[in-house]
Structure 1
Amino acid sequence: MPKRKRARGGKRINLKAAKKAIRITIDGKKRLDLSKREISSFPKCLLKLLDVVELDLSRNFIKKVPNWIEKFQDLRLLDLHSNQIKNLPGSIGHLQNLHFLNVSNNKLTEKGIPMELNQLKKLRQLNLGLNAIDVLPTSIGALKDLEQVGLFDNNLTKVPPGVLELPKLKKLNTERNPILPTKEELEAEQQEAIQRVGNLHLVNEKYLCKPCVAMCHGEKSKLNKRKSLFTNLVTPNSTSKKIKTND
């Protein structure tokens, strides 16, 4: 995917333009879509539109989420994927009605994820994929309503235990992380290797037919198989999703 060229200083969005970008959701609520506008910062005019329930600022050049994001008390969807965000403010934890949060494809690290995230008690979907996160705060385990968690394309070496214990979790994506096997997995792999070796017999390759040689090489490949490390992977941007609520 070709890189987007940033306009010098970024484009500005005034209140009139923002109002034109408002759409009505299926349940009659307001959705503000300011995606792909080459915006470099949160437009302050949004403070005049605090009644929106869905805010999409994805695919821009935003580097910072302002503390006044907490003023959107009715917000149930916040989509900030594909920006240049390094830190989320602690005030994001005040969005008590938030159901969907997408901050994938940014520049988040462990330090950029505030502990206050655990205050989002109604959060159902959380996408943190395509960032530079190596450790996930244990406070994520407090989000008991989480159903889907995206952690793909990060630097995690283990699956966060708090996430695995979420009672309503239906989908967890940890693909393309350098996750190391647990002690139990290593022991199981060792036992499997011992059993395989116990059934092997030494024979010179030249005495085998081609199908047998291919089969032996396949078995050898299985024994030597190890999980690869994926860093700096380039993948397509994630896409925003609409959610249905009972509001």
Structure 2
Amino acid sequence: MERRLRGHEPSWWDDMGLAWYNEIANTAHSGAYAQDGQTIDGNVVDSLFTDTGLVNWGNDHNNIDVADAALIFMHGSESNDRWQGSVRVDEAGAGDCQTWQGDMRFGNTNLKFLHLSSCNSMDDNQWADRWWESFSGLHQVDGFHGFMWIGSDLVSDYEDFASDAFTATIADAWLDNMYHADISGTDDQCPVAYAVGVNSDDTWNRIGAERYNNVLSNPTSVGYWGTIYFENCDPANEDTIGTGID
């Protein structure tokens, strides 16, 4: 089956997101979630994802941070060793056409699990000094080291991820469904699951236990972070995973 680089088959990207969105609410799953809202194209702006405690125009507390679990799919890149995603509309004032991880704090309203269908959203150079700063009650972020991919044959990956995360851990479900060796013929697709906790034991317990229907209490502080990934995964637009860890 054909697999295409991000941007080459964009018409399937909303199908990939909706496959997750519909499956997480499938009542065949014990503990299925209720759908609370979606935005595809339309008025997608920076403030939906940014925190008013960091930028005065942030409005995540009325948007993404209201959800228990959320999926963002947008074109991604790095800026100052942080993930940034392209948004559709340029806001007036301080907003712009990029949303930047340095302006994000999640979980102080509600969000527990954040999934990023976006390139360079969990590059290994972001782990130690960057992503943990966005956890303010958030439990886990799942993203990609290097490029991720879009295509009709990848829609089922997102449905299967949502389904599996009720019976397996969210971290394992993300890796098992999103990893593809030689997805381009040469480059891999490299998923990463990233969690925080008070200490090492707390962090690895969360990675090894949390499912959509087994949600632990919010971390009381961020004293430790941990990731799981596929060793030697080698994507487009990044070095082999693990080489950029400080």
TM-score using structure 1 length: 0.34
Select the structure with the greater relative contact order (CA < 8 A; seq sep ≥ 6). 2
Please tell me whether Structure 1 or Structure 2 has the larger radius of gyration of its CA atoms: 1
Higher strand fraction (1 or 2): 2
